[in-house]
Amino acid sequence: MTVHSVDHVEFFVGDVLQASHYYCGTYGFRVVAEAGPLTGLAGARSLVLAHGGVRLVLTSALHADHAASRFVRRHGDGVRDVALRTDDAAGDFERALAAGAEAVAEPEIFEDATGRVTRATIAATNDLVHTLIQRENDGASGTPEPAGSFLPRRYQSFPEVAEPGPELLRSVDHLALCLRAGSLETMVDFYRRALGLRHTYDEYIVVGGQAMASKVVQDETRGVTFTMVEPDPVGDRGQLNDFLEGFDGPGVQHVAYGTDDIVRAARELRASGVELLKTPAGYYSALAERGIKVDIDTAVLQELGLLADRDEWGHLIQVFTRSPYARRTVFFELIQRLDARTFGSGNIKALYEAVERERADAPSAAVPVGAAAGADA
């Protein structure tokens, strides 16, 4: 298999214009292409949004029996397609089918003077699909910015009318999948067989009465990373159960954006209206006890609700957002890696313990326990 990076993430949404207004106004995305009936996209309208190396596609239906309309009725707004860049879309598609994957769309070639794109789609789970994208004339393998059209003959590109704003987001660092209890091993096996990803990390976490199992699959370059988590049914009900109920089954729980300057990104996004989760003060007083030391003042970490963790390779800093969607399902993460390769699972226990300390000190005070629900595992 030749999958090596995330090409784009497609959301099916109820109102594409409203959704694009949110992402452009808060995260600083800009609309770079569109598609609809006049360009050959039957029954729907799509907008391509860009920010740094991140591409989002927002699609909404124009009639009630379109797939996007059915998706939104069942799941609410959410991730339909995690499209993966590959060097051989047709070959990888055939290899995925041979490994047991279900075909959604056969390989198709789109070509014009700007370049050539081959794409094919396989099913993953519960309306989540993966489109395999092979781009030619787009520079070096893995380059996030396509040099030609987003999809020749189907999407109309928009010329830049102004200089892009500051690029706060570098890439899609990882995507977290929330799964039903008992399905984790099956999904790890699917990604190994169908897409050639490697199982690189696993963990079992207990916080209070809740318990959850987490596994990670990645390609060799770590350009594609899925963190997958399932609740342990013997534990108390928690945020994973809430997602599975609100989304009507498994799906992408959050999208993590990599950044090279998380302090700047968090400040600017918060000022633009992105709601970052708050963290109890006790979390920061315990950083030194955990052996966490990053080159950001603790007061700044606390001001922005930034979380810090370490693994055997280095440190990371992360922060989670509240979900902007009515069902409170999909949310987002900002993450800056300082050589760390894992996902901040140490923050789960640290946040839980900080919340419990504050409850003990001031049992009548309102403690933002939702912050402890944000970490990957």
> Which ranges constitute the DSSP H helices of the chain?
16-22, 67-75, 89-98, 184-195, 239-246, 262-271, 281-285, 298-304, 346-361
* pLDDT value, residue 365: 36
Structure token pair of residue 118: 């081959």
Give the Cα-Cα-Cα angle 333, 11, 368 (nearest 5 degrees). 35
- Give residue 377's pLDDT: 36
Q: Please state, in angstroms and rounded to a whole number, the distance separating the CA atoms of residues 40 and 34.
A: 11
Query: What average pLDDT does this structure show over 106-112?
Result: 95
Q: Tell me the whole-structure pTM to 2 decimals.
A: 0.91
Helix, strand, coil shares of the chain as percentages rounded to 5? Answer: 25, 35, 40
Over residues 165-177, the pLDDT tens digits come to 678 999 999 999 9
210 vs 104, higher pLDDT = 104
pLDDT in tens, 125-165: 999 999 999 999 754 444 445 556 899 989 999 876 666 66
Residue 9 has pLDDT above 50, yes or no: yes
Q: Are 119 and 105 in contact (CB under 8 A)?
A: yes
- Is the pLDDT assigned to residue 103 strictly greater than 60? yes
Q: Where are the beta strands (DSSP E) in 27-163?
A: 30-35, 44-51, 54-61, 78-86, 103-112, 115-125, 128-136, 156-157
Res 113: pLDDT: 86
Cα separation, 274 vs 91, in Å, equals: 41
In the structure, what pLDDT confidence band is assigned to residue 92 with cuts at 50, 70 and 90?
very high
How many other β-carbons are positioned within 10 Å of the β-carbon of residue 320?
Answer: 25
Do 258 and 170 form a contact (C-beta atoms < 8 A)? yes
pLDDT at 38: 94
For the chain, the straight-line distance linking the first and the last C-alpha, in angstroms and rounded, comes to: 27
Q: Does residue 372 carry a pLDDT above 70?
A: no
Q: What is the pLDDT of residues 49-58, one digit of tens each?
A: 999 999 999 9
Question: What's the mean pLDDT in 171-197?
Answer: 97
Contacts 24+ apart (CB under 8 A), 18-25: 19/58, 19/60, 19/77, 20/47, 20/49, 20/58, 22/324, 23/49, 23/56, 23/58, 24/49, 25/272, 25/273
With H, G, I as helix, E, B as strand and everything else as coil, classify residue 205.
Answer: strand
- Residues 212-221 as b/e (b if ≥16 CB within 10 A, e otherwise) read bbbbbbbbee
Mean pLDDT of 216-221: 96
Q: Retrieve residue 364's tokens.
A: 């009548």
Per the CB < 8 A criterion, the answer to whether 198 and 215 are in contact is: no
How far apart (Å, rounded) are the C-alpha atoms in residues 294 and 313?
A: 14
Tell me how long the chain is.
377
Largest CA distance in the chain: 67
Question: At residue 302, what is the residue type?
Answer: Q
